[in-house]
Structure formats: structure tokens, C-alpha cells
Structure 1
């Protein structure tokens, strides 16, 4: 059943004439309404233009109550987690604790080996840029089973705390997809291993390092890395829906320990905008490491996408480059990042994880509307 669109728009900031900065609000609203009409329960866009912030919500955050997305709503951000993790690694590079072109074997002796897989030939750079050739450890995201898997796997998998060492041992029994550096192929296994490298070097958990190095310095109070056994979401949040055996299901509560460094985090749109703005402004990494992060490799056939070290560059229709990431996990889809040329930061969040060809483009259209506003 399609949900009647409920549209709200709010703004805050220091601009005396906010309408000047809210260019594109009509297009963003229309794009999010289209997403709801295609079947998403609800959607939110949070826009920041160098000191002025505004948001648009459509549809609902809760189908049972009809309530919209709450202000500062938190969502599971999936693979946007990778940018936080890559930032920590590059900080360790700046501190002399990690070398980008060193083999992973140096940091995790005996761990990364399998059919055609040799940790002496796979570098930290390969892992961060998805050029390792390592097999995928999850069907899509390293978290709870996707809907099509639920008919095979026990419902208990949704609540179990993962032993990532065991998960990776199983994954690495699969053959390498290609020689390290030969190609680009997205694999969550890369970031699961990177998370282990961070923990081995620092002696602290990935979540603790992200909190200490990024969340606390930037004051990101609505962002967190869940504890291994945590299933419920903290603070205000929409219900996250997925389809199980063809039926829309509340999947908000889940154990995301298997997503780990590849996709476990929770954040608000405002916090994601602050993070990506700080990152692209050079407040989290020295210039040399920031340049490495933005040293991209083209991906896909369209020529519009390129991937650096945990950071993606999208060439938008308005001839602007959007630097950020996307994320999906059972219950949500998010796009987040910044247009450095204009300073506009954008987060788009939807509270269902549709991946079919008919509905998925709705989210990217909303991103385009936010990044490429027309007066």
C-alpha cells in the first residue's frame, strides 16, 4: 500500500534570508515524494549550506502511528561507516603507525590467506580502495541476512553477536576474484580486515577509536558505533523496514556486529553532514593523507563514479563533484557527502532497503536534486 506523502520542511541557521540558501527545496521535496510513491515508507533530506541548515521529510517514519521522521532522527548508515574507518586508518598513517603500501601480513600475520589469497601481496591501500580481490563475506552488507536469505537462515541470525575472526576464516576459504590491484570490486571483507588492523595496532576497538578520534572532537552526539551485543537503536529514529518473504517487516532492532567496520554505525543526517564537511575541509587529516584518500580509481561504465580510500567521488549532472559515500543495511538506505566547490553538504535517508531496479533510483534522484539545485 502506498503511503500518502506527508511533507514537512524546517530550517535553522544564521542566515537572515534562509530562502536564499534553500535553493532546490521544491525539487528535493518532489524527489522524496516520488520515492514515497514508489513504496518507501518515508524519506529525509538534511542540507547544510555553510552555516544554514534545513531539512525536508516525506512519508512517515512509522507506518503504525503515521509519525514523520523526528528532528535529528538517527538511522543505520551502513557503508558510510567505511569513511569513518578509513579516516582512522589514515590518521594512523599520519602518525607513522601504518604504511598504506605495506602488506596486510605485517599487521595481521597469518590471517589473510586462502585460495589465491596471500596477505604478503595485499596492501592496506588495496583493502581501503577495494582492489584486493578478496571474496565477499556477506551477500551484500556484512550485517543481518538480506530478505532473500531469511528463508534459508534462522531468524536467530538477526540477534546473534558475530565472531568476526570466524566469519573471515570462512570467507577466505573462497577463491580470490583477481590479483591485488588488477581490478576494482566492492567487498565488505576489505573493511572487516581493516577493522582488525586498527584493533591490533591501537589495542582498542574500532568503535572506541572512531569515538575518540572523530565523534568526540567534532561533537557528533547523535552518532555512535554500536556495542557488539547491542540490538536496539538509541535516541529518536524512524522504524526501519525490510521485506521478509514478500512482507514488509519492522527490522529496526537487529544485531549489526557482523557489519562491524564495514557498516555498523548509526548517525543523524546533521551529524553526517558535519563529519563529511570536517573531513573535506581538512580538519581530520593532514593534506598528504587527505590527498591519498581522494586519489580515486574509476569504477563502473558510466564514467561518473570513482573510489578513493573509503571515499567516493560522484560527477553530478550539474558538473559538480560530490564527495561522500552511500550505505545500505536491512531497514535503511543513506547517501551522504559534500560538494567542496559550494560547501553544500547533503544526507538523504530512506527507512526501507529496497534494492530492486524500479525503486532504487528514487534515492539517487533525490541526491541529484539536493546536490544540483535549480533556482
Structure 2
């Protein structure tokens, strides 16, 4: 099945408003779309449109941490307590026992604040519409996590936790003396000329041409109403999910990262040192490194990158180990949570040897 056919089926069979995919292979670029950018119109989804990329933000965060490690500003074996003294303490937590490496590899044991009962009510229930403009500080998000006991002792397990990357963003700010947004701009966006990519911070609207984003408010019925949630306050994402970008900018970023043009070899090797995710946990079947995951496609190709979900969007960004071929895909709806069959199907078509 071709990528175009898969995109069409996502709209006609799974009910997504629209889906896009972009594949870059050396100097060649292919873009395809199906459906619409805005329900109730015939406006096609286009390559230049922006969308919220969710947890793909984590790879940007990890890249900056590894750059700082290469510059000896910090070490991956530094403790959270060293950089954020007193923040991780009480209720079974000890920042002296959690390292930056634990954060980037999801092995800290810190509870995911997004799984807190109140946060699930705000963002993963029909109450979303009343809470999508709630504003948060990173410290408030960490406090929610610390109200829960650790999932396990640091380094003794794996649990995908957005708390890890909120802390990583705070460490970046403490280590550089700059805001997280400014550091990402200075170290990644400007050097790569990613002119359509930025961090939302407190902006609730997207700056440039963009797709609209839709949510069924976690209702499972196929005919559940899809609500336009394009405008929202993304401060609950911070360094774990706040980024806005395009397929083209994301493809450039991952190609440059995997191609060794953002990190020295030693740090890139650290990032790409993968450990299989334990059976029965989130991302079962994947492996995780430092802010980057990998899995093997049915065609036999192992790809490296990250997925991302935020209210109204699902995205995947993966490439070959050397970054020579990269594929990006996004749906502007947040149901079928997540579409873990749909996206690998697109990637498999993109990375087949004859593609």
C-alpha cells in the first residue's frame, strides 16, 4: 500500500479530519496529504502549515542537554539536586539519587504528572473545554508529580514520564542562565534556519499558517463530536511538549541530528544507545535512549526518532540511523489513542528499500 492510500484511509476509515506525511531522502523530498485542515471547509492540508508536535519536543530538550554535556557545562551523571537544590524532596523522593541521565532515559521513577487524577480530568475527559486555557509553571507541574510516591527506585525501571523533561528544561535554564525558549532558539532553531518552528510559551494561538486541531474529548463513539481545540495554553507542556513546527522543519532537525551535525559523536552515541522498553509498559516493543526512541519496521528497517501527542494532534518523526532518510507524519485529531498502527504503516511504506 502506498503512503497516499494510507493517508486516504486515515480520513475515510478512521475519521481523522486530515493527515500529512513528508519523506526526505538525500536531496529528494515528497509530501502528501489527505482530508482537510479545517472541518467544514475544503482547505487542504499543506506542507507549510504549523501544528503542535507534543512530545517530539523532548528530542529538542535532550539535544540541548547533550550539547551542554559536550561543552562540560554539566554531566549526565550530575544529580537533579545539584542543579535544582531542594526541588525533589519528600514523599519518598530524593533529588540526590536522580541523575540527568535518569531523566532523559525515563528511568528516574518520578510519577508522570499528566497521569495525576486531576490532570486527567482537565485534559483527558469532556472537561477539557473548560480547562484548555489553564496556565501552569514548571514548578507547579513538578509539585503534582511529587504528590505521588515514586514508581520505582531511580535507575531500577522504566516509566515514560513527562515530569522528567520538565525537570530537564529547568536544568537547562539553571545551567545557561537563559530561558528554555531562548536556549532552543539560539542552539537549534537559528542554526538550522527552522523559521516555522517555535515554542508556544504563553501564546494560545499559532503564529503562521496552520492546521486546526480537533478532539473528541476521549469519547470512544465513532460519531462523537470533534471539537476545535486549536487554541489552547500549552504551558502544561513546557520542555516536554510545547513546540510548534511543520513537517519540513521537523525533517530537517532530525536529519541534522542523526547526521551528526548537532552533537559530537560521543554525545550522539549516548543518545542513540537504546534499551528495550519492558514488556507491558508504555512503548512496549520500542527501545529508548536519551530523548529518542527506536523500533523495527515490518520491512526490517530500524528507525530512530520520537512520537508526539498534545491536545488535538498526533505526530511521528523517525529516520534512519544516519539521518539520510526521514519521515514525518501528523493527524489533526487526537482519537484512536494513539494511532500506533497507522503511523508505523506510513513509516514502513516510506522506509521500504524500493520506496
CA distance in 2, matches of 1:255, 1:373: 42
1:169 aligns with 2:169: no
| 1:31 and 2:12 correspond | no
| Match of residue 208, structure 2, among 235, 253, 267 | 235
| CA spacing shift, 1:263–1:115, aligned 2, 3 Å | same
Q: CA deviation at 1:200?
A: 0.9
1:1-375 aligned at under 5 Å gives the runs 27-36=2-11, 37-139=13-115, 148-151=124-127, 155=130, 157-227=131-201, 229-244=202-217, 246-301=224-279, 304-340=285-321, 343-356=324-337, 360-372=340-352, 374=354
Q: Structure 1 residues 180, 147: CA separation in 2 closer, same or farther (over 3 Å shift)?
A: closer
Q: Which runs of 4+ in 1 moved over 6 A?
A: 142-146
- Per the alignment, in what secondary structure is the counterpart of residue 16 of structure 2? coil
| 8 Å Cα contact 1:242-1:354 kept in structure 2 | yes
Q: TM-score, normalised by structure 2?
A: 0.92
Measured after TM superposition, the shift of residue 222 of structure 1 is 1.0
Aligned residue for 1:13? none
Gaps of 5+ in 1: 1-25
How much has 1:160 moved relative to structure 2? 2.7
| SS at structure 1 position matched to 2:9 | helix
| Offset, 1:168 | 1.3
Shift of 1:205: 1.1
Higher mean C-alpha displacement, 337-346 vs 312-321: 337-346
Distance 2:350 2:46 in 1: 20
Deviation for aligned residue 1:109 = 0.5
Do 2:158 and 2:278's aligned partners in 1 also have CA atoms closer than 8 Å? no
Q: Structure 1 length as normaliser, TM-score?
A: 0.87
CA distance in 1, matches of 2:6, 2:31: 13
Deviations 1:39-85 (A, max 9, x none): 11110001111011110101111112121112311110000000000
CA deviations over 1:145-181 (Å, ceiling 9, x no partner): 7664343x671x3113212212212321210000111
Aligned length: 345
Aligned residue number for residue 17 of structure 1 = none
Question: How many Å separate the matches in 2 of 1:318 and 1:373?
Answer: 8
Map Cα deviations across residues 195-250 of structure 1 (whole Å, 9 max, x no partner). Answer: 111111111111110110000000011111113x2000111111100013642100
CA contact (8 A) 1:27 1:373 kept: no
> Once the 2 structures are TM-superposed, how far is the Cα of residue 300 of structure 1 from its aligned partner?
4.3
